[in-house]
Amino acid sequence: MAALTVNTQAGQPQRPLCLMDIAPCMLDLRLPDTSALRASKRGALIRAKGRASQPEDMWVASACGMCSSQCAILVHRLNGVVSMIEGNPKSPLGMGRLCPGGPAGIQLLYDPYRVNHPLKRTNLEKGIGVDPRWQEISWDEALNSIAEKLRKVRAEDPRRLFLCGTPVSPSALAFALGAFMPAFGSPNSFICEDHHGGNAQHIMARRLHASSATHPDVAYCDYLLIFGCE
């Protein structure tokens, strides 16, 4: 994986800045001693190998990523396969309740059309009906290509880098990108989930239902269909 090179304090050697390095450029960071942590991980790995022949049946606490609310969830994992998603009753947010989008996270996880590898566009011609001819590439190739282009932009004028996206906030990705842009040297970033919700769905919902979302009458409902929404 290629890295971007940035200057640290005067007189200090340069250190590489990876694509998702969120440390400020002007800080001289010292890495702590991780020998104890490595020894602990080795012990955990040995114990895990000893349990490899035993069937796995466990509940894992996590957070739902189907919308920006990020409700607390419990995920039932059986032999490495997610079989059920429920709300976490110990969480003050929702108190164990989930909207239908929460359990539907299983469908997102195991969607047969889910893209699990980087894709590179090999046809530079763009237009309606034009085949982009996507080609699967490795993560190393993808990250090296991105790093090379970012390095060129930073050398010429870092302000040319513009970020406009909708990562689920307050996710780690949103915080990382928000710190990466000033570290890169560009003030041109705008991260807001309203790009995909507030400009259309929320406005219409407030106009029609006096709320940013619709709430079905579940108590008197025999069969509920939900199309492409939470």
Rounded to whole angstroms, the Cα distance separating 143 from 171 reads: 21
Q: Which residue has the higher pLDDT, 183 or 214?
A: 183
User: Quick one: what percent of the chain has pLDDT higher than 70?
Assistant: 60
- What pLDDT digit, counting tens, does each position of 151-169 carry? 999 999 999 998 877 655 5
Paired tokens of 151: 């390095």
User: What confidence score (pLDDT) does residue 170 get?
Assistant: 55
User: Are 164 and 135 contacting, i.e. CB atoms less than 8 angstroms apart?
Assistant: no
Q: Which residue has the higher pLDDT, 24 or 76?
A: 76
User: What confidence score (pLDDT) does residue 154 get?
Assistant: 94
Is the per-residue pLDDT at 133 higher than 90? yes
User: Are 1 and 118 contacting, i.e. CB atoms less than 8 angstroms apart?
Assistant: no
Residue (of 126, 206, 203, 194) closest to 164 by Cα position: 194
Rounded to whole angstroms, the Cα distance separating 49 from 38 reads: 17
Residue (of 178, 162, 161) closest to 170 by Cα position: 178
User: What confidence score (pLDDT) does residue 27 get?
Assistant: 33
- What pLDDT digit, counting tens, does each position of 190-200 carry? 766 555 555 56
User: What confidence score (pLDDT) does residue 8 get?
Assistant: 38
Rounded to whole angstroms, the Cα distance separating 146 from 152 reads: 10
Domains in the chain (CATH in brackets) are 57-114 (2.20.25.90), 119-156 (no CATH)
Is the per-residue pLDDT at 89 higher than 80? yes
Rounded to whole angstroms, the Cα distance separating 120 from 140 reads: 13
Residue range 208-219: average pLDDT? 67
User: What confidence score (pLDDT) does residue 32 get?
Assistant: 45
Give the HSE-up count for residue 47: Cα atoms under 13 Å, Cβ half-sphere: 6
DSSP codes joined into one string, 40-76 = HHHHHHHHHHHTTTSPPEEEEEEE--SSTT--EEEEE
- What pLDDT digit, counting tens, does each position of 17-67 carry? 333 333 333 333 334 455 555 555 555 555 555 555 567 889 999 988 887
Residue range 200-221: average pLDDT? 69
Residue range 71-100: average pLDDT? 89
Q: Which residue has the higher pLDDT, 17 or 68?
A: 68
| pTM, full prediction | 0.52
User: What confidence score (pLDDT) does residue 130 get?
Assistant: 93
User: What confidence score (pLDDT) does residue 96 get?
Assistant: 87
pLDDT band at 14, cuts 50/70/90? very low
User: Are 226 and 100 contacting, i.e. CB atoms less than 8 angstroms apart?
Assistant: yes
User: Are 135 and 119 contacting, i.e. CB atoms less than 8 angstroms apart?
Assistant: yes
Average pLDDT, the chain: 73
Is the per-residue pLDDT at 85 higher than 90? yes
Q: How do strand 189-191 and strand 4-6 relate by DSSP bridges?
A: unpaired
User: Are 178 and 164 contacting, i.e. CB atoms less than 8 angstroms apart?
Assistant: no
